[in-house]
Amino acid sequence: MNPEKTDATLRITGDVLRFRHNPFERENALELLRDHSLVIGKGRLLAIAPAVEARHRWPDCPEQDYSGHWLLPGLIDAHGHYPQLAITASWGAALLPWLEQYTFPEESRFDQGEYARDMAARYQRLCLQNGITTPVVFCTSHPLSVQAWFEQAEARNMRSIAGQVLMDRNAPDTLLREHETALEEVQAQIQQWHGRGRQQVAITPRFAATSSREQLRDAGWLMAHTDCLMQTHLSENPDEIRWMLSLFPECRDYLEIYESHGLLGPRSLFAHGIHLSDSEVARLRASGAAIAHCPSSNLFLGSGLFAARHMADAGIPLALGADVGAGPSLNLFAVMARAYEVSRLQSAPLNAAQLLWLATEGAAQTLKLEAHIGRLQAGLEADIIALNPQATENLALRYHRAESEEEALFALLCLGDDRMVAATWLAGEQQQSQR
């Protein structure tokens, strides 16, 4: 075989884990290609080939040897709040008191650019340490918090989706902005950041209770006049739902509040969706909207158990969210383990392939980014992680006992944390390494 003259600048060698098909549709969805190389150039995957062949075809291309490691697409965290990083693991509150006691005071600090930049940098570094290459986040209602986020993400060439939180009522004055002002600010952010490099702006009403009807209408207008995603919260907690219906008595259920303001469609991403009626599920399905399932957050705040298998069977696109700060960490493996436990409690357990799907390829689909990220395939962006399945004594013991790839993967998801993430690459550039 003749050497190829290409743009290849890096070969990463290891065991490539990828999906043959959607694990929610058919079994036996995973394949592990042992001793293969990911060939990278200009930030994208150029080829996946057996390592021996790749050495012959691209002899001049530098190689990073991760033999014995699993190579996966970078993980996608479909829901989180970067300004809440410093209040993770705060004790004792359910959703509404949590917002009042912990969230709103902390978010009020983000009118300071330096503080916002520091927190954005910390959050993004923690993402990379945990193998998350695409975070989807809420900022605060301060434009500075958005600027700080996108500047940091662009400097890292990290794909991200973020938005200024829209709030014009029912929160401390320090977090409220007139709806006309907020609309102008978000329009300016879309102009400046949306589609610039790897950055995307999401229209981000916090949830219906903290926006007036006028503001929800503004958000619907933005959704109709741009190609931005819309992210918000839906049906997380019974007290929240009662409050929503008292604020919007003209609506028969929570979803209708968003629906009646033009916020329900295929670019809608709702966090939680735990306590939905059959009618709400049917309307979500018909709209093509997606749900970010945040099991560690739901358990932490005692919000309830999301019916993941039922919703997947109903045809709702799903992704996973660490939901920092109600979710206690950016360890997305722990989020997968909590998703398993929540589904197990409902006698409808998700399997390892399904759990990984929700943090990679499935998540990319919910974000309409499947042409860019979410799987290892020639042409896609080279966001990659290398997992060391023997990173700890416990992992190694369990890994060697596994009789199949799926069994090994399940054990890794249940036992893994940032020590398992040996390296993370963004668009082919190594960001961190534990070696």
Q: For Zn ion, which is the closer residue by CB, 171 or 380?
A: 171
What residues contact 282, with CB distance under 8 A and at least 6 apart? 314
Q: How far is the CB of 204 from Zn ion (least distance, A)?
A: 10
Backbone angles phi, psi at 258, to 5 degrees: -70, -45
Interaction residues for Zn ion, span 214-273 (CB under 5 A)? 271
Q: How far is the CB of 115 from Zn ion (least distance, A)?
A: 20
The DSSP result for 208-229, as a single string, is GGGS-HHHHHHHHHHHHHS--E
Q: How far is the CB of 206 from Zn ion (least distance, A)?
A: 8
Q: How far is the CB of 36 from Zn ion (least distance, A)?
A: 37
Q: For Zn ion, which is the closer residue by CB, 156 or 233?
A: 233
SS3 383: coil
Q: How many residues bind Zn ion (CB under 5 A)?
A: 2
Q: For Zn ion, which is the closer residue by CB, 216 or 326?
A: 326
Q: x/- site string to Zn ion, residues 294 to 323, per CB under 5 A?
A: -----------------------------x
What residues contact 24, with CB distance under 8 A and at least 6 apart? 312, 354, 357, 362
Q: How far is the CB of 190 from Zn ion (least distance, A)?
A: 22
Q: For Zn ion, which is the closer residue by CB, 97 or 315?
A: 97
Q: For Zn ion, which is the closer residue by CB, 57 or 142?
A: 142
Interaction residues for Zn ion, span 322-381 (CB under 5 A)? 323
Q: How far is the CB of 233 from Zn ion (least distance, A)?
A: 6
89 and 147 Cβ atoms separated by less than 8 Å: no
Q: How far is the CB of 271 from Zn ion (least distance, A)?
A: 5
- Which residues is 49 bridged to in the sheet? 37
Instruction: State the first-to-last Cα distance of the chain, in angstroms, to the nearest integer.
Output: 33
384-417: burial string, b at 16+ Cβ within 10 Å, e else: bbbbbbbbeeebeebbeeeeebbebbbbbbbbbb
Q: For Zn ion, which is the closer residue by CB, 323 or 361?
A: 323
319 and 338 Cβ atoms separated by less than 8 Å: no
Closest residue by Cα to residue 14 from 31, 33, 35 = 35
Q: For Zn ion, which is the closer residue by CB, 183 or 271?
A: 271
Q: How far is the CB of 419 from Zn ion (least distance, A)?
A: 27
Q: For Zn ion, which is the closer residue by CB, 15 or 323?
A: 323
- The conformation of residue 4, written as its DSSP 8-state character, comes to P
Cis-peptide, bond into residue 197, ω within 30° of zero: no
Q: For Zn ion, which is the closer residue by CB, 10 or 95?
A: 95
145 and 112 Cβ atoms separated by less than 8 Å: no
Closest residue by Cα to residue 232 from 278, 222, 423 = 222
Q: How far is the CB of 253 from Zn ion (least distance, A)?
A: 20
Closest residue by Cα to residue 315 from 25, 75, 76 = 25
Instruction: Read off the tokens for 23.
Output: 């694990």
Q: How far is the CB of 413 from Zn ion (least distance, A)?
A: 22
Q: How far is the CB of 81 from Zn ion (least distance, A)?
A: 6
Closest residue by Cα to residue 73 from 328, 365, 308, 335 = 365
Q: Given CA atoms 397, 398, 401, 404 in this order, what sign does their dihedral have?
A: negative
Q: x/- site string to Zn ion, residues 45 to 84, per CB under 5 A?
A: ----------------------------------------
Residue labelled with tokens 């829209």: 166
The DSSP result for 232-262, as a single string, is EEES--HHHHHHHHHH-TT-SSHHHHHHTTT
Q: State which amino acid sits at residue 269.
A: L
Q: For Zn ion, which is the closer residue by CB, 158 or 271?
A: 271
Q: How far apart are CA 13 and CA 85, in angstroms?
A: 34
Q: How far apart are CA 59 and CA 399, in angstroms?
A: 33
Q: For Zn ion, which is the closer residue by CB, 271 or 307?
A: 271
Point out which residues bind Zn ion (CB under 5 A): 271, 323
